[in-house]
Amino acid sequence: MKDIDALLKEYNLDRQEIEELLQQNEKINAIKLVFDKTGLGLKNSKDLVEAIQSKETHFKEDNSLTNSNISVKTFSKNGHLTVKLKLNNQPEKVVFPSDPDWAEVKRVMGNKPEIITYEKEYLENPTKFQSQKNTLFIEDEGSRKWKVVLLASVLTIVIIYFIYSKS
């Protein structure tokens, strides 16, 4: 159970703004406001707005649905840990402890030893992680597939050229 006022403060939400929307029969807009600012998920956003509407002081977050729209993956390659986050409908991205979304990683992963070690190493020497930041749009694993497709395409064009030039 969380104190509603503390929760609103944590997410920088104005109770009065939500209550005004509710008084204007704009419950959907109030839920959307909470959903957009918190990332709590649709059900939890609705439940929070309804708790405010009912003048309750505490809110019980349903964690079974919260993590369904957040995915955190960790993998080690050449001894280097990489942390990837997929948040709501956004594309998956590599995140670092300096990233604003790092709080989501910590919330989902908790205090797992590999996350604590990764965070400590990053804070001690962020430039060591620069190579991960420089992989703009092409992931290492996926780039091999595209190289094969590109090579096959070029070979196909060359073969077609030779076939038509001989006839």
Query: Averaged over 86-113, what is the pLDDT?
Result: 82
Q: Are residues 77 and 98 in the same domain?
A: yes
Q: Are residues 25 and 47 in the same domain?
A: yes
What's the whole-number average pLDDT of the chain?
81
Q: Are residues 111 and 73 in the same domain?
A: yes
The DSSP annotation for 69-82 comes to GEEEEEEEETTEEE
Per-residue model confidence as pLDDT tens digits over 22-47? 999 999 999 999 988 887 788 888 99
Q: For residues 131 and 135, what is the distance between their CA atoms, to the nearest angstrom?
A: 7
Query: Averaged over 11-29, what is the pLDDT?
Result: 93
User: Does the reported pTM lie above 0.75?
Assistant: no
CA distances from 79 to 30, 82, 138, 161 (A): 46, 10, 20, 46
Q: How many domains does the chain have?
A: 2
Q: For residues 73 and 88, what is the distance between their CA atoms, to the nearest angstrom?
A: 14
Is the per-residue pLDDT at 152 higher than 60? yes
Please state the φ and ψ torsions of residue 83, each to the nearest 5 degrees: -115, 125
> Residue 73 is part of which domain span?
67-137
Element (H, E) at 3: strand 2-3
Is the per-residue pLDDT at 125 higher than 90? no
Q: Are residues 86 and 41 in the same domain?
A: no
Is the per-residue pLDDT at 18 higher than 90? yes
Per-residue model confidence as pLDDT tens digits over 44-97? 889 999 999 999 988 887 765 444 578 888 887 777 788 888 887 778 888 888
Treating both helix axes as pointing N-terminal to C-terminal, what angle do 42-53 and 27-38 enclose, rounded to 10 degrees?
A: 130
Residue 134 is predicted with a pLDDT of 46
Element (H, E) at 20: helix 15-23
Residue 9 lies in a domain: yes
